[in-house]
């Protein structure tokens, strides 16, 4: 496995790979890798000839007051995991390489960024769309892999690629969970043992949404009320949002028919967790 820190070196390698007629799969990450990330790498390995993983803690997707400085970093462990799971190249540039001294250009995907996480994280998706557009331009992947855990992010990237005519196939993969249901996240390491137990209320709420829907409930208000109750039963859990939205538009639905997404963001102490389920 190769490790590249500069854009030029990665581009040269990819040019060489493509000249041999090979397809490139791309998995963008912020590192602190867990099974969720690794599932994307393994999938990319199955579906493409040459797998590039990027590890870059993207400063422009953190909002003021968020945890950029504290974000977990463990590059050596990540490199090992990438190699073991089928990555051919890890691209790990620093911020200077990605943004230089003067950076003036941003990608702003509208509409689908207004609700859910976009409502409480102003500028977050602009930062995500901008860095992924740059990484797509650098890597020129045939296919790119994202997790459904960040469903709004995946929708933003899909729309950006469509609107900007970036020739990449976006694949969105299932959420990988711990045995007890908590969605894997790099931020889970911040949870104290007590908070880790409390964090299960998020998955509990999503399971309840599923159960309500299975019994035929079609009024999102009733499902949301039940979900909120489960979360708020946990002392110290704070709700940022609990929503039932259309899978494509990410807009709240007034009545459920067909499959929709139940999504929630919850704070457990200082840790912000998101999760969703299709019901």
Any idea which residues carry the catalytic annotation?
37
Alpha-carbon distances, residue 240 vs 232, 243, 267 (angstroms)? 11, 10, 7
Alpha-carbon distances, residue 128 vs 57, 182, 230, 277 (angstroms)? 11, 24, 31, 22
- How many other C-beta atoms lie within 10 A of the C-beta of residue 25? 28
Position with the least CB separation from ligand AMP: 147
Q: How far is the CB of 56 from ligand AMP (least distance, A)?
A: 9
Binding ligand AMP (rule: CB under 6 A), the pick from 112, 183, 266, 279 is: 183
Q: How far is the CB of 86 from ligand AMP (least distance, A)?
A: 15
Q: Which residues of 12-22 are buried (b: 16+ CB within 10 A; e: fewer)?
A: ebbeebeeeee
CA dihedral of 41, 43, 46, 50, whole degrees rounded to 10: -30
E-assigned strand segments in 22-177: 24-29, 50-55, 89-91, 143-147, 169-173
Three-class SS of residue 8?
A: helix
Q: How far is the CB of 218 from ligand AMP (least distance, A)?
A: 29
Q: How far is the CB of 96 from ligand AMP (least distance, A)?
A: 20
Q: Number of C-alpha atoms within 13 angstroms, CB side, residue 167?
A: 4
Binding ligand AMP (rule: CB under 6 A), the pick from 146, 190, 203, 212 is: 146
Nearer to ligand AMP, 133 or 184 (CB): 184
- Our finding on whether 188 is near ligand AMP (CB under 6 A) is no
Nearer to ligand AMP, 31 or 220 (CB): 31
Of 90, 30, 33, 26, the residue nearest 58 (C-alpha):
30
Q: How far is the CB of 37 from ligand AMP (least distance, A)?
A: 5
Contact track, ligand AMP, 147-176, x by CB under 6 A: x-xx----------------------x-xx
- Our finding on whether 29 is near ligand AMP (CB under 6 A) is yes
Nearer to ligand AMP, 113 or 220 (CB): 113
Contact status, residue 53 vs residue 90, Cβ threshold 8 Å: yes
Binding ligand AMP (rule: CB under 6 A), the pick from 24, 37, 54, 272 is: 37
Binding ligand AMP (rule: CB under 6 A), the pick from 10, 25, 26, 36 is: 36
Contact status, residue 251 vs residue 185, Cβ threshold 8 Å: no
- Residues that bind ligand AMP (rule: CB under 6 A) add up to a total of 17
Beta bridge partners of 90: 3, 53
**Interface residue list for ligand AMP (CB under 6 A):** 29-30, 36-37, 39-40, 146-147, 149-150, 173, 175-176, 183-186
């Amino acid at each position: 496995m190769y490790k590249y820190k500069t854009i030029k070196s990665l581009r040269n390698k990819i040019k060489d790979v493509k000249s041999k007629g090979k397809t490139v799969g791309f998995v963008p990450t912020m590192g602190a890798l867990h099974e969720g990330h690794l599932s994307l790498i393994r999938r990319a390995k199955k579906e493409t000839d040459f797998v590039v993983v990027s590890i870059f803690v993207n400063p422009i997707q953190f909002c003021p007051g968020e945890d950029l400085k504290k974000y977990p970093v463990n590059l050596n462990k990540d490199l090992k995991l990438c190699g073991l799971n089928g990555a051919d190249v890890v691209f790990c540039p620093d911020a200077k390489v990605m943004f230089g001294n003067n950076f003036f250009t941003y990608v702003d995907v509208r509409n689908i960024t207004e609700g859910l996480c976009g409502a409480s994280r102003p500028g977050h998706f602009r930062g995500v769309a901008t860095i992924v557009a740059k990484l797509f331009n650098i890597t020129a992947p045939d296919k790119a892999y994202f997790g459904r855990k960040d469903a709004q992010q995946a929708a933003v990237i899909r729309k950006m690629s469509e609107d900007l005519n970036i020739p990449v196939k976006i694949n969105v993969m299932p959420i990988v969970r711990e045995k007890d249901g908590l969605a894997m996240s790099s931020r889970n390491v911040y949870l104290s043992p007590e908070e880790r137990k409390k964090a299960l209320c998020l998955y509990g709420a999503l399971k309840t949404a599923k159960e309500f829907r299975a019994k035929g409930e079609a009024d999102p208000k009733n499902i949301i009320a039940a979900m909120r109750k489960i979360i708020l039963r946990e002392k110290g859990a704070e709700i940022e949002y609990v929503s039932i939205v259309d899978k494509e538009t990410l807009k709240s639905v007034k009545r459920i028919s067909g499959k929709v997404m139940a999504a929630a963001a919850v704070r457990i102490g200082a840790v912000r967790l998101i999760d969703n389920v299709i019901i």
